[in-house]
Amino acid sequence: MSRRSFLVVVSVIAAVLVAEVTAAETTAVLITVDQSGKGNFTKIQQAIDAVPENNREEVFIVVKAGIYREKVVVPANKPFITISGRRAADTIISWNDSKNTYNSATLAVLASDFVGRYLTIQNEYGAGAQAVALRVSGDRVSFTACRFLGHQDTLLDDIGRHYYKSCYIQGATDFICGNAASLFENCHLRSVSDDVGTITAQRRESPSENTGFVFLGCKITGINSAVLGRPWGAFSRVVFGFTFMSDVILPEGWDNWQDPSKQSTVYYGQYKCYGKGANPSRRVSWSFTNMTAQDAAPFFTKSFIGAADWLRPLPKHFKRAFSSRSHP
């Protein structure tokens, strides 16, 4: 082994050891939400309200199985919160609102450094208006093994850097929309439109914005037909890589939202996708159907969202901040 190789190996081992030590020493404030009254609170919003403003500690909110019919907001001044169920199908946050894209969300995450795990978040309103299940407007936010259910604008991926892993996202019209910089890894996207669905409506508005939606190793299914996206912003950017596309995806792949001027400014790419809906031969001429490895390299990595600096491990130790009591 050369000296250079030896130093690289030593550096890698040192980095791993530092990460393990950091993870082992991580302690979080534990809060339990349980509708039966056996936790600290019976509602999720009560638990969030109990977190101090400008919080600097990790707070881990465990939500016991149940259907929580409430509209939940994580304020911008309450960072470092994790909300975790045990299984998404059993831990459901549900509401029915259609005020508008920004105010209708069942769960609105406005804070930075938020983590969501094993939750179903749904807006039951249905077709006919913007009805957001999840709004994410904080920076450094991640969701793992969650389900987002809605119809129009299901996931408002608004602003900030976000990571979604092994999530299920269902909707019909523009059901992943916004101007965040987000990586979706191993996610399942399902279109349930009665007509032609639209999976994404990304809102990048200038070439200087480092935003866009990247889908890596995902799966697209659905009913009827759908397009991969249309431009909410003139410089909309969406890239799919190593993704299975069923025949729900129309051959043209993308829509210009009745504005041909955006065809020269959007960036819509596809790299090594497969399935009946992934055939590049009839894609619109203004999309990148045959991205090279060099084209793809900046997108299909967590570096696209700078995740190495902020994705954090689960806490190893917990402390209780509340006495064992429940609230009505």
CB atoms within 10 A of CB 185: 17
Q: Which of 113, 153, 157, 158 is catalytic?
A: 153
Q: Which of 157, 158, 174, 255 is catalytic?
A: 174
> In one letter, which amino acid is 86?
R
Using CB atoms within 10 A of its CB, is residue 285 exposed (0-12), middle (13-18) or buried (19+)? exposed
CA 328 – CA 326 distance, rounded (Å): 7
Q: Is 174 a catalytic residue?
A: yes
- What is the amino acid identity at position 154? T
**What radius of gyration, in Å, describes the C-alpha atoms of the chain?**
21
CA dihedral 80, 81, 85, 91 (to 10 degrees): -140
Q: Name, in order, each residue with C-beta under 8 angstroms of 320's C-beta and a sequence gap of 6 or more.
A: 29, 30
Fill in the amino acid letter for 183: L
CB 287 within 8 A of CB 259: no
SS3 211: coil
CA 227 to chain centre: 20
Contacts of 70 (CB under 8 A, 6+ apart): 43, 44, 45, 93, 95
Catalytic residues: 153, 174
